[in-house]
């Protein structure tokens, strides 16, 4: 049996902007629609050929139980196109891409749009469970008296709205506190975190200046306030420096911490869509794939430990499945939730002890040359719309692999819950 391969034909994202800024008045569906329509137009793909849409999203407004299906309808894809929304926290778009890969490799689909979106400017704010139960009970009541009595057990403390927290349900620790813990356990210095953050900004600035970034970012048209086109990311700081970064106060452990606003990814709005096809369909339609999905893997760690270390376990699994080693990987896109998480992961991958005790291997997985990593900047500079980041990473990697004629590339994303995801791409 010939193995079908999934091809990355094209990818596009919106500008990534700080939550509460340029996209604050936009709807999450509009953001996803905008980039998906632009992807279809730029690739000149007949929408009728799309077999399925899979979209990642984490903080979904209540009206979009299946955001991906609404995206199909809003983007003018045929109403017969099935669609599903997936959530794997910060790795949601990676889940969408690997689900699309599975469909294509099984021969169940030839053309899939996979991606993700996040609108942290407009997160679902819920009622407390007690108040929510009372509202449901009141809506089912037949008389005014019953309706009023539904609220009898509601106390003052039940009235404030409940916003989603970037914290673990099982431990109560926020992502930032977990990054602090990782910095301390792995001895990652403040200076090293700031240097990583500076590099992230410098590479992002360079990628915009030399025109490479423009290739993967589509403008978003905001129609409120007289209308305007948002064309650029707005968190990148061309003027940042080690001195400025060193002055920032730690956020998550004010007394002894090292994680600051400067060496963390910011809360961000944005969307990204990728067009995947079976190799044969791409060929017959005249597309030249940028990269093929060679393998992928997921892993998970105890959230009470090093929460964001999942990729250190997923990467070796994905490499084994691809039949390759880190040494042969030409380019790496590693999601930067925090500089402390990136540096911890790199250190573990290069540790013989970690390999022996945690992975059951004789030798370290290997060392990644930072010059081959996140070459157009990472999430610290670009921003991190949870649902979209995985698609941003895969798009950039595929574009860079094409530009540099690289043979093999690796993407990794850490996610809440202790999950890590990795994908190995190869040039066709």
Ligand X SMILES: CC(C)(COP(=O)(O)OP(=O)(O)OC[C@H]1O[C@@H](n2cnc3c(N)ncnc32)[C@H](O)[C@@H]1OP(=O)(O)O)[C@@H](O)C(=O)NCCC(=O)NCCS
Instruction: Supply the residues annotated as catalytic.
Output: 90, 384, 414
CB of 10 to ligand X, least distance (A): 27
- Our finding on whether 288 is near ligand X (CB under 6 A) is no
Q: Which is nearer to ligand X, 77 or 411 (CB)?
A: 411
Contact flag: residue 266 with ligand X (CB under 6 A): yes
> For residue 22, what are the contacts with CB-CB under 8 A and spacing of at least 6?
15, 222, 230, 234, 269
Count of residues of this chain found to bind ligand X when the rule CB under 6 A is applied = 18
Distances in Å between the Cα of 74 and the Cα atoms of 34, 71, 109, 395 are: 9, 5, 22, 23
Closest separation in Å from C-beta 413 to ligand X = 9
User: Given candidates 132, 248, 285, 300, which one binds ligand X under the rule CB under 6 A?
Assistant: 248
Which one, 252 or 354, has the nearer CB to ligand X?
A: 252
Contacts of ligand X in 318-347 (CB under 6 A) = 337
Near ligand X in 371-410, by CB under 6 A:
384
Does residue 116 touch ligand X according to CB under 6 A?
no
Cα–Cα distance measured from residue 96 to residue 423, given in angstroms and rounded to the nearest whole number: 12
Residue with tokens 């798009």: 395
Pick the stretch among 26-34, 71-79, 204-212, 243-251 that binds ligand X (CB under 6 A). 243-251
Tell me which of 251, 355, 373, 382 binds ligand X, using CB under 6 A: 251
Window 20 to 79, contacts with ligand X (CB under 6 A): none
CB atoms near residue 418 (< 10 Å): 24
424 is a contact residue toward ligand X (CB under 6 A): no
CB of 354 to ligand X, least distance (A): 21
- Minimum separation from the CB atom of position 161 to ligand X (A): 19
Q: How far apart are CA 384 and CA 353, in angstroms?
A: 32
Give the binding range for ligand X (CB under 6 A) out of 104-112, 236-244, 324-332, 393-401: 236-244
Closer residue to ligand X in complex, CB, 30/336 = 336
Sole window of 110-118, 242-250, 293-301, 352-360 interacting with ligand X (rule: CB under 6 A): 242-250
Q: Please state, in angstroms and rounded to a whole number, the distance separating the CA atoms of residues 130 and 412.
A: 40
Nearest distance in Å: CB 54, ligand X: 21
Tell me which residues in 160-179 interact with ligand X (CB under 6 A): 166, 175-176
Q: Give the residue, chosen from 7, 35, 54, 90, that forms a contact with ligand X under the rule CB under 6 A.
A: 90
Smallest separation (angstroms) from ligand X to the CB of 236:
9
Given the DSSP bridges, would you call strands 408-415 and 419-426 parallel, antiparallel or unpaired?
Answer: antiparallel
By CB under 6 A, the residues from 175 to 214 that bind ligand X are 175-176
Taking CB under 6 A as the criterion, the residue among 185, 261, 288, 367 binding ligand X is 261
Select 98 or 264, whichever has its Cβ closest to ligand X. Answer: 264
Cβ atoms of 426 and 291 closer than 8 Å? yes
| Piece in contact with ligand X (CB under 6 A), picked from 139-147, 149-157, 263-271, 275-283 | 263-271
Task: Report how far residue 92's alpha carbon sits from residue 86's, in angstroms, rounded to the nearest whole number.
Answer: 6
Q: How far is the CB of 9 from ligand X (least distance, A)?
A: 29
- Residue 264 as a binder of ligand X (CB under 6 A): the answer is yes
Q: Pick the binder of ligand X from 11, 199, 257, 262 (CB under 6 A).
A: 262
**Binding piece for ligand X, criterion CB under 6 A, among 119-127, 148-156, 262-270, 275-283:** 262-270
For the bound state, the minimum distance from the C-beta of residue 31 to ligand X, rounded and expressed in Å, comes to 18
**Nearest CB to ligand X, comparing residues 9 and 181:** 181
Q: In the set 96, 112, 183, 245, which binds ligand X (CB under 6 A)?
A: 245
User: Which residues form the interface with ligand X (CB under 6 A)?
Assistant: 90, 166, 175-176, 237, 240, 244-245, 248, 251, 261-262, 264-267, 337, 384
């Amino acid at each position: 049996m010939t193995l079908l391969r999934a091809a990355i034909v094209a990818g596009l994202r919106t500008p990534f902007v700080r939550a509460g800024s340029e996209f604050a008045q936009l709807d999450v569906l509009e953001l996803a629609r905008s980039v998906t329509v632009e992807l279809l137009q730029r690739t000149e793909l007949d929408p009728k050929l799309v077999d399925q849409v899979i979209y990642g999203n984490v903080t979904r407004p209540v009206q979009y139980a299946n955001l991906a299906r609404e995206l199909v309808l809003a983007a003018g894809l045929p109403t017969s196109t099935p669609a599903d929304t997936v959530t794997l926290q910060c790795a949601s778009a990676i889940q969408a891409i690997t689900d699309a890969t599975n469909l294509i490799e099984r021969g169940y689909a030839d053309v899939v749009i996979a991606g993700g979106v996040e609108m942290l400017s407009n997160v679902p704010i819920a009622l407390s469970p007690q108040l929510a139960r009372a509202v449901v009970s009141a809506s089912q009541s037949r008389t005014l008296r019953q309706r009023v009595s539904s609220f009898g057990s509601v106390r003052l403390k039940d009235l404030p709205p409940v916003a989603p927290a970037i914290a673990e349900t099982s431990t109560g620790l926020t992502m930032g506190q977990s990054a602090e813990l990782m910095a301390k356990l792995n001895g990652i210095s403040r200076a090293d975190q700031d240097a990583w953050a500076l590099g992230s900004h410098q590479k992002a600035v360079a990628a915009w200046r030399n025109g490479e970034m423009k290739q993967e970012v589509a403008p978003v048209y905001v129609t409120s306030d007289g209308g305007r086109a948002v064309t650029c990311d707005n968190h990148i700081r061309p003027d940042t420096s080690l001195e400025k970064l060193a002055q920032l106060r730690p956020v998550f452990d004010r007394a002894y911490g090292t994680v600051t606003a400067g060496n963390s990814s910011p809360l961000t709005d944005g969307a990204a869509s990728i067009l995947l096809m079976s190799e044969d369909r791409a060929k017959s339609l005249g597309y030249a794939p940028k990269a093929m999905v060679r393998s992928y893997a997921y892993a998970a760690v105890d959230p009470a430990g090093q929460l964001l270390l999942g990729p250190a376990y997923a990467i070796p699994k994905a490499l084994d499945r691809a039949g390759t080693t880190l040494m042969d990987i030409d380019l790496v896109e590693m999601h930067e939730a925090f500089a402390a998480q990136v540096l911890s992961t790199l250190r573990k991958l290069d540790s013989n002890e970690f390999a022996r005790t945690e992975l059951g291997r004789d030798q370290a997985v290997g060392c990644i040359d930072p010059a081959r990593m996140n070459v157009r900047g990472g999430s610290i500079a670009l921003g991190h719309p949870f649902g979209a980041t995985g698609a941003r990473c895969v798009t950039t990697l595929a574009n860079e692999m094409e530009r540099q004629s690289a043979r093999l590339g690796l993407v990794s994303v850490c996610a809440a819950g202790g999950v890590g995801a990795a994908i190995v791409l190869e040039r066709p």
